[in-house]
Amino acid sequence: MSTNNHCESARCHIAVRVPAAKANDMVNSVLPALHGKTFDTTDTIYILDDNERLQGLVTLPHLLTAGRELTLKEIMITDPPAAGPEDDQEQVASLAIRHGITSVPVVDSEKRFLGAVPSNSIFQILRREHIEDMNRLVGIMNVNNKAINALEASPVKRLKSRLPWLLIGLFGSMVATFIVSRFEHVLESRVSIAFFIPAIVYIADAIGTQTETVAVRGLSLTNTPILKLITGEFMTGLLIGLSLCLLIFPFAYMIFADINLAFAVAVAVLSAGTLATTIGLIFPWLLSKVGMDPAFGSGPVATIIQDVLSLLVYFFIVTIFVI
How far apart are alpha carbons 229 and 124 in whole angstroms?
Answer: 28
> Could you count the other beta carbons within 10 Å of the beta carbon of residue 54?
21
How far apart are alpha carbons 2 and 123 in whole angstroms?
Answer: 15
Per domain, the residue ranges of the chain are: 10-119, 168-321
What 3-state class would DSSP assign to 50? coil
Whether 183 contacts 253, CB under 8 Å: no
What 3-state class would DSSP assign to 67? coil
Closest alpha carbon to 25 in 90, 69, 83: 69
The pLDDT, as a whole number, for residue 106 is: 93
The pLDDT, as a whole number, for residue 114 is: 92
Whether 72 contacts 47, CB under 8 Å: yes
Residue 154 bridge partners (DSSP): none
Residue 112 bridge partners (DSSP): 53
Q: What is the CATH number of domain 10-119?
A: 3.10.580.10
What 3-state class would DSSP assign to 287? helix
In the chain, the amino acid numbered 216 is V
Which residues of the chain carry a pLDDT beneath 50?
1-4, 145-148
The pLDDT, as a whole number, for residue 107 is: 92
Kindly tell me the burial class for residue 85, based on how many C-beta atoms sit within 10 Å of its own C-beta (0-12, 13-18, 19 or more): middle
The pLDDT, as a whole number, for residue 212 is: 76
DSSP class of residue 36?
T
How far apart are alpha carbons 164 and 146 in whole angstroms?
Answer: 19
| Sign, Cα dihedral of 3, 9, 13, 14 | negative
Do 168-321 and 10-119 have the same topology in CATH? Answer: no
Whether 213 contacts 137, CB under 8 Å: yes
In the chain, the amino acid numbered 294 is P
Domain with residues 168-321, CATH architecture: Orthogonal Bundle (1.10)
The pLDDT, as a whole number, for residue 33 is: 83
Task: Give per-residue pLDDT as tens, 154-212.
Answer: 777 767 766 777 787 788 888 888 888 888 888 888 888 888 888 888 888 888 877 87
Kindly tell me the burial class for residue 210, based on how many C-beta atoms sit within 10 Å of its own C-beta (0-12, 13-18, 19 or more): middle
Q: What is the pTM of this model?
A: 0.57
- The CA-based dihedral angle spanning residues 306, 253, 190, 173, taken in that order and rounded to the nearest 10 degrees: -20
Whether 18 contacts 39, CB under 8 Å: yes
> Could you count the other beta carbons within 10 Å of the beta carbon of residue 29?
12
Task: Give per-residue pLDDT as tens, 57-75.
Answer: 998 888 888 888 899 999 9
Whether 92 contacts 7, CB under 8 Å: no
The pLDDT, as a whole number, for residue 250 is: 92
Pairing of strands 77-78, 54-59: antiparallel
How far apart are alpha carbons 283 and 295 in whole angstroms?
Answer: 10
Tell me the three-class secondary structure of 177-207, residue by residue: HHHHHHCHHHHHHCHHHHHHHHHHHHHHHHH
